[in-house]
């Protein structure tokens, strides 16, 4: 099997991870392109004795680590502000290794040992990073959440999970029109959206209409994330795959709120 064939199934998920780590589609995709270029040109090699997926992520992190210091420099906390008010200020309070540890285990479902290999740390260090990152994110970020989901049981599951995380659920919408109306009335700070609302329309269309009026982060929830992560068009940065794990939702909600900027938009 060629290198391209062995990596192809994992690229949609590496793009998802890279975008969440970098906080944008553009930034994440640039690191993925650099990773693939380094592999194809022979500047980096996949470690022996590991799966193609683990090896691919490890090479990505070698690329990320060589550049992330440049990204983190200059992000000094504002000592005059009581609370950080921008992603840059929050980034200064949480280093990239903590974010990586959280995403690799909670979203990408790597084991502690695999995550430790990927980021070149001991499993104990990765575990400490996970706890530290999640505590810091949860403490800083509380929001009002709109859930767009046509399956009542899934909607209630998300409601309970988001509420346990300390957020306030302002509504659960089952159709496109209901979602747009609830967003206008409640002005949420975060949207969790199913993609297919059955007879209620498209969750993607609902989100597009909501984003015409509000600048808020969106997390899409879908059983087929690879269909959205093709690399062929602007895509959502944050995705949770069904069936979802509570840890995946928690980590992705934290990242979406942590990194939200005024430039985040769907095509």
How many independent structural domains does the chain possess? 2
CB 182 within 8 A of CB 209: no
Same domain assignment for residues 114 and 37:
yes
Q: Per-residue pLDDT for 60 more than 90? A: yes
Of 24, 12, 18, the C-alpha closest to 263 is 24
Same domain assignment for residues 149 and 209:
yes
CA 223/CA 206 separation, integer angstroms: 18
Q: What are phi and psi of 99, to 5 degrees?
A: -65, -45
Same domain assignment for residues 41 and 60:
yes
* Domain assignment of residue 265, yes or no: no
What is the percent of the chain where pLDDT is above 70? 80
Same domain assignment for residues 249 and 173:
yes
The CATH number that applies at residue 212 is 3.40.50.2300
- Give mean pLDDT, residues 19-23: 81
Same domain assignment for residues 90 and 217:
no
Domain boundary among 139, 160, 186: 139
Higher pLDDT, residue 88 or 35: 35
Range of the domain at 133: 3-139
| DSSP bridge pairs for 240 | 221
Same domain assignment for residues 9 and 55:
yes
| DSSP bridge pairs for 219 | 192, 238
pLDDT 10s digits, 173-226? 999 999 999 999 999 999 999 988 988 898 989 999 999 998 899 999 888 676
CA 174/CA 258 separation, integer angstroms: 27
Task: Tell me 212's DSSP state.
Answer: T
Q: What are phi and psi of 194, to 5 degrees?
A: -70, 155
Same domain assignment for residues 11 and 120:
yes
| DSSP bridge pairs for 193 | 148, 220
Q: CA distances (Å), 177 to each of 54, 148, 169, in order? A: 42, 11, 18
Task: Tell me 202's DSSP state.
Answer: B
CA 59/CA 26 separation, integer angstroms: 19
243 cis-preceded (ω within 30 degrees of 0): yes
- What is the sign, positive or negative, of the torsion defined by CA atoms of 100, 254, 16, 115? positive
Q: How confident is the model at residue 68, as a pLDDT?
A: 52
Same domain assignment for residues 119 and 82:
yes
Same domain assignment for residues 192 and 107:
no
């Amino acid at each position: 099997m060629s290198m391209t064939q062995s990596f192809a199934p994992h690229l949609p998920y590496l793009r998802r991870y890279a975008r969440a780590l970098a906080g944008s589609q553009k930034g994440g995709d640039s690191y993925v392109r650099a990773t693939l270029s380094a592999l194809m040109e022979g500047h980096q090699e996949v470690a022996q004795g590991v799966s193609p997926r683990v090896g691919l992520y490890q090479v990505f992190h070698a690329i990320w680590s060589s550049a992330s210091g440049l990204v983190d420099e200059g992000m000094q906390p504002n000592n005059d502000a009581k609370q950080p008010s921008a992603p840059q200020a929050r980034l200064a309070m949480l280093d990239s290794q903590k974010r990586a540890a959280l995403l690799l285990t909670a979203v990408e479902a790597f084991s502690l040992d695999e995550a430790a290999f990927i980021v070149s740390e001991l499993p104990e260090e990765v575990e400490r990073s996970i706890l530290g990152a999640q505590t810091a994110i949860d403490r800083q970020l509380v929001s009002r959440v709109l859930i767009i989901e046509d399956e009542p049981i899934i909607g209630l599951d998300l409601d309970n999970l988001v509420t346990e995380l300390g957020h306030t659920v302002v509504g659960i919408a089952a159709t496109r029109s209901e979602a747009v109306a609830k967003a206008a009335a409640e002005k949420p700070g975060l949207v969790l959206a199913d993609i297919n609302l059955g007879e209620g329309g498209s969750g993607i269309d609902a989100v597009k209409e909501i984003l015409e009026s509000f600048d808020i982060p969106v997390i899409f929830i879908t059983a087929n994330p690879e269909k959205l992560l093709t690399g062929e068009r602007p895509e959502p940065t944050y995705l949770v795959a069904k069936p979802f794990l509570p840890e995946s939702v928690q980590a992705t909600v934290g990242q979406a709120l942590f990194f939200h900027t005024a430039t985040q938009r769907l095509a």
